[in-house]
Amino acid sequence: MYRFMVIAGTRPEFIKLAPVIKAILEFKDIELIFVHSEQHYDIELSDVFLKELNLPSPHEFLNVGSGTHGEQTSRLLIECERVMRSYAPDLIFVEGDTNTVLGAGLAAIKLNLPLAHVEAGLRSYDRMMPEEINRKVVGLCAAIHFAPTKRAALNLIYEGIPPKKIHVTGNTVVDACLFFSKTAKQKSTILSDLGIQKDKKLVVVTAHRPENVDNERNLREITEGIVELGNDGHQIVFSVHPRTKKMLEKMRFKYASVDSFFLSEPLGYLDFLRLLLEADLVITDSGGIQEEALTLKCPCLTIRRNTERPETVEVGANILIGANKNLLVKYARKILLDQNFSSKMRPSFNPFGDGRAGERIVKISRDHCSEGIQIDSPTFLERPPMIFKLLKVSESLEGLTIAALKKKFPEIEVTLVYDLEGKPLFPQNDLTLRKDWSIRIIESY
Ligand code: UD1
Ligand code: UDP
């Protein structure tokens, strides 16, 4: 019998860990311990999701609440340490990059307990973003890294994480949003509740990043932009996070000039998905919504200057506009009025996977547990000193997969592969080597 602890505490963590919890519950030999940190505690950010996502009742509530980063993280560290000691789980799951993840990561590594990081390896390379620090720190704490894409896996490789600890699984947000979209279509009444009209365009808006909503100037740029779109005759639904509500009240935000402007409390998942399915455009600074918009084929404008989800931009589904009214209005009009332009923002390829990430993650985790999870990497620690070498793929190695190469030379570890153009490739087991590619290996003297 294995004991898996899942720690979540904010809206996106409930959503993205729901597929993992569902997959855990399918194994008779895994006991689930579900811990709610209560970083989010309002009904609209917490209970609604537990209910709609059919999550089991949490075994533990940590009551960490809001506060400064120091206050919140220290309470998380103390409380996570307490529950981890008391349950001694075989594996602990966290998802993403919130302070809940940071607290749990630090507690786990200090107790030498194995941590599985879901949605590992995302990097915006923006150190002013609190989440970037959290992601990097939890990367140091984790024993298993579930990277949604090969690009995310490469970010981890660059930071020295051994490839055998990294699994490319797809993002569980795809599992969640595809699965719950069906329920949303059947159950949500949000379109009729708001009186959404089919013959008008629909724009959905969310904003909650501190750089946008704690900064009055930036929030003004965003709100003036969306009011202008409303004045064009489009329907606007703005789902307001509590952090954002405070600043909107301070600014005395007004939108009376617009016919169909809906300023809403945070919406439940089914209502939010129903709106996304109907929307012609989403304007957001959310991480999860960039991924969901791509998955549900809704063009996305991201009101940030960078993203840790560059795959969305690469496939053409997302445009980064910063908190800039002029760019917001310019690109929104293009998307809403130029069908040729907007159809290119609905690519058929989804870099975040096929919607089966949750079951993959749990199966790999269970296999790891049966083999015994190593928190430290023996290749780095047991045989020092280690060196990196770059080797050319010779004719005799051509056509071998990475798995076959590992079998042939068990003493080396391939950390990176470069193709003929020097493009880095994640050394996944099924990657086939071509002549004159380079492989970066690690071996002892
Ligand atoms: C947090 C995460 C962010 C994530 C977001 C998801 C960190 C550092 N940030 O941001 O990465 O994208 O959750 O939504 O972990 N508040 C309430 N009710 C609640 C929760 C919060 O009113 O239930 C208010 C409080 O005034 C609080 C503020 O919102 O101070 C911010 O909450 P906090 O959890 O610190 O950060 P988020 O902005 O929600
Ligand atoms: N979401 C929701 N209701 C809303 C706004 C967002 O259910 O009113 C969902 C959305 O579908 C996505 C997740 O919340 O799955 C994103 O959460 P958030 O933007 O708070 O956090 P981030 O993804 O930026 O960490």
What is the pLDDT, as a whole number, of residue 222?
98
Round to whole Å and give the CA distance between 166 and 63: 32
CB-based contacts of 352, cutoff 8 Å, min separation 6: 148, 149, 170, 171, 173, 174, 291, 294, 295, 311
Question: Ligand 2 pocket: which of 39, 206, 306 to mutate (most atoms <8 Å of CB)?
Answer: 206
**392 contacts 435 by C-beta, under 8 angstroms:** no
Residue nearest to atom 14 of ligand 1 (CA): 11
Q: List Cα–Cα distances, 275 to 194, 256, 292, in angstroms.
A: 10, 22, 12
> Which residues on adjacent β-strands are paired with residue 387?
443
Provide, rounded to the nearest whole percent, the portion of the chain with pLDDT above 90. 91
Q: Is 267 in the pocket of ligand 2 (CB under 6 A)?
A: yes
Residue 26: other Cβ atoms inside 10 A: 11
Q: How confident is the model at residue 112 (pLDDT cuts 50, 70, 90)?
A: very high
Provide the terminal-to-terminal Cα distance of the chain, rounded to the nearest Å: 41
Helix 216-231 and helix 325-337: axis angle, to 10°?
A: 30
All domains in the chain, ordered by first residue:
2-171+354-371 (3.40.50.2000), 189-344 (3.40.50.2000), 384-444 (3.30.70.1450)
Q: How far, in Å, CA of 395 to CA of 234, rounded?
A: 61
Q: Which ligand is nearest to the CA of 240?
A: 2
Q: How do residues 272-307 score in pLDDT, each as one tens digit? A: 999 999 999 999 999 999 999 999 999 999 999 999
Ligand 1 pocket test, candidate residues 38, 40, 71, most atoms within 8 A of CB: 40
Q: What is the pLDDT of residue 386?
A: 63
pLDDT score, position 388: 80
What token pair was written down for 129? 């973003």
CB 253 within 8 A of CB 178: no
Which of the listed ranges 231-245, 246-260, 403-417 does the model predict with the highest average pLDDT? Answer: 231-245
Q: What pLDDT digit, counting tens, does each position of 72-85 carry?
A: 999 999 999 999 99
**Which single residue is written with the structure tokens 């080797």?**
391
What are 34-89's pLDDT values in tens digits?
999 999 999 999 999 999 999 999 999 999 999 999 999 999 999 999 999 999 99
The answer to whether residue 208 is catalytic is yes
pLDDT in tens, 301-359: 999 999 999 999 999 999 999 999 999 999 999 999 999 999 999 999 999 999 999 99
Q: Is 295 helix (H, G, I), strand (E, B) or coil?
A: helix
- Residue 445's pLDDT band, with cuts at 50, 70 and 90, is very low
Cis preceding linkage at 384, omega within 30: no
Q: Are 290 and 318 in contact (CB under 8 A)?
A: yes
pLDDT higher than 90, residue 385: no
Runs of H (alpha helix) within 296-424: 310-314, 325-337, 339-343, 357-371, 378-381, 402-408
| pLDDT, averaged across the chain | 95
Supply 396's token pair: 């005799």
Token pair 């959503």: residue: 15
Among protein residues, the one with the nearest Cα to ligand 1's atom 31 is 243
Say how many Å lie between the CA of residue 15 and the centre of ligand 1.
Answer: 15
Q: And the tokens for 343?
A: 């159809």
Q: Is the pLDDT of residue 374 over 80?
A: no
The span from the CA of 297 to the CA of 221, in Å, is 26
pLDDT at 49: 98
* Residue 104 · residue 79 · CB < 8 Å: no
Residues 116-163 pLDDT 10s: 999 999 999 999 999 999 999 999 999 999 999 999 999 999 998 989
Give the tokens for residue 255.
């939108």
Task: Count CB-CB contacts under 10 A for residue 115.
Answer: 28
108 CA from centroid of ligand 2 (Å): 27
By three-state DSSP, how is residue 387 classified? strand
Residue 174 pLDDT > 80: yes
Which of 40, 208, 234, 368 is flagged as catalytic?
208
- Assess whether pLDDT exceeds 60 at residue 378: no
How far is it, in rounded angstroms, from Cα 45 to Cα 14? 10
- pLDDT tens digits, residue range 419-431? 999 999 999 999 9
Helices (H), 164-241: 172-187, 190-194, 210-213, 216-231
Contact 268, 180 (CB under 8 A): no
Look at residue 384 in the predicted model and tell me its pLDDT: 54
